[in-house]
Amino acid sequence: MNEQADTAAASQFVVTSNHGFAAYAQDELRALVPGTKFEPLITDETYLMRIPLDREAAIRRITSHEPIFLRHMHPIDRTVGTSGTAEDVSLLADLAGQLFLDGFDGEIGKVTVQIRKAERYESEYSPAELREAISGVLLERCGVESVVKEADRIVSVFLSSGAAYIGVSASADNLSDWPGGAVRYRKEEGQVSRAKFKLLEAEYAFGLELSRFRKALDIGAAPGGWTSLLLERGAEVTAVDPADLHPDLLGHPQLTYLKRNAGEVAFRSASYDLLVCDMSWSPKQMIKLILPLLDALRPGGAAVITLKLMHGKPFQTVKDSVRMMQPVMQLRKAKQLFHNRDELTVYLQKIN
Ligand X SMILES: C[S@@+](CC[C@H](N)C(=O)[O-])C[C@H]1O[C@@H](n2cnc3c(N)ncnc32)[C@H](O)[C@@H]1O
As annotated, the active-site residues are 308
**67 to 24, 115, 190, 352: CA distances (angstroms):** 9, 24, 35, 27
Closest distance to ligand X from the beta carbon of 22 (Å): 25
Rounded to whole angstroms, how far apart are CA atoms 68 and 58?
Answer: 17
Element (H, E) at 37: strand 37-42
Which part of the chain contacts ligand X (CB under 6 A), choosing from 32-40, 52-60, 202-210, 261-269? 261-269
Q: How buried is residue 345: exposed, middle or buried, by Cβ count under 10 Å (0-12/13-18/19+)?
A: buried
Closest distance to ligand X from the beta carbon of 124 (Å): 44
329 binds ligand X (CB under 6 A): no
Rounded to whole angstroms, how far apart are CA atoms 26 and 219?
Answer: 33
In the set 173, 201, 241, 273, which binds ligand X (CB under 6 A)?
Answer: 241
Residue placing its CB nearer to ligand X in the complex, 13 or 272: 272
Q: What are phi and psi of 327, to 5 degrees?
A: -60, -30
| Contact characters 271-290, ligand X, x per CB under 6 A | -------xxxx-------x-
Number of residues that bind ligand X (CB under 6 A): 23
Closest distance to ligand X from the beta carbon of 223 (Å): 5
Residue placing its CB nearer to ligand X in the complex, 254 or 280: 280
Residues 114-143 that bind ligand X (CB under 6 A): none
Residue placing its CB nearer to ligand X in the complex, 49 or 297: 297
Rounded to whole angstroms, how far apart are CA atoms 210 and 99?
Answer: 38
In the set 67, 75, 180, 225, which binds ligand X (CB under 6 A)?
Answer: 225
In the set 111, 208, 217, 262, which binds ligand X (CB under 6 A)?
Answer: 262
Q: Are 219 and 276 in contact (CB under 8 A)?
A: yes
Count of CB atoms situated within 10 Å of the CB of 43: 12
In the set 222, 274, 293, 318, which binds ligand X (CB under 6 A)?
Answer: 222
Closest distance to ligand X from the beta carbon of 286 (Å): 8
Say which amino acid occupies 247: P
Closest distance to ligand X from the beta carbon of 169 (Å): 33
State the SS3 of 216-280.
EEEECCCCCHHHHHHHHCCCEEEEECCCCCCCCCCCCCCEEEECCCHHHCCCCCCCEEEEEECCC
304 binds ligand X (CB under 6 A): no
Rounded to whole angstroms, how far apart are CA atoms 348 and 22?
Answer: 25
Residue placing its CB nearer to ligand X in the complex, 46 or 306: 306
Beta 215-219 vs 236-240: how paired, if at all? parallel
Closest distance to ligand X from the beta carbon of 198 (Å): 7
Q: What does 299-348 look like in DSSP terms, one character per residue?
A: EEEEEEEEEE--SS-HHHHHHHHHHHHTTTEEEEEEE--TT-SSEEEEEE
| Contact characters 173-212, ligand X, x per CB under 6 A | --------------------x-xx----------------
In the set 121, 197, 226, 272, which binds ligand X (CB under 6 A)?
Answer: 226
Residue placing its CB nearer to ligand X in the complex, 35 or 242: 242
In the set 243, 250, 266, 351, which binds ligand X (CB under 6 A)?
Answer: 243
Say which amino acid occupies 94: D
In the set 58, 240, 275, 344, which binds ligand X (CB under 6 A)?
Answer: 240
Q: What phi-psi label fits residue 72: left (phi over 0), alpha (psi between -120 and 50 degrees) or beta? A: beta
Closest distance to ligand X from the beta carbon of 279 (Å): 4
Applying CB under 6 A, the residues found at the interface with ligand X are 193, 195-196, 219-226, 240-243, 261-263, 278-281, 289
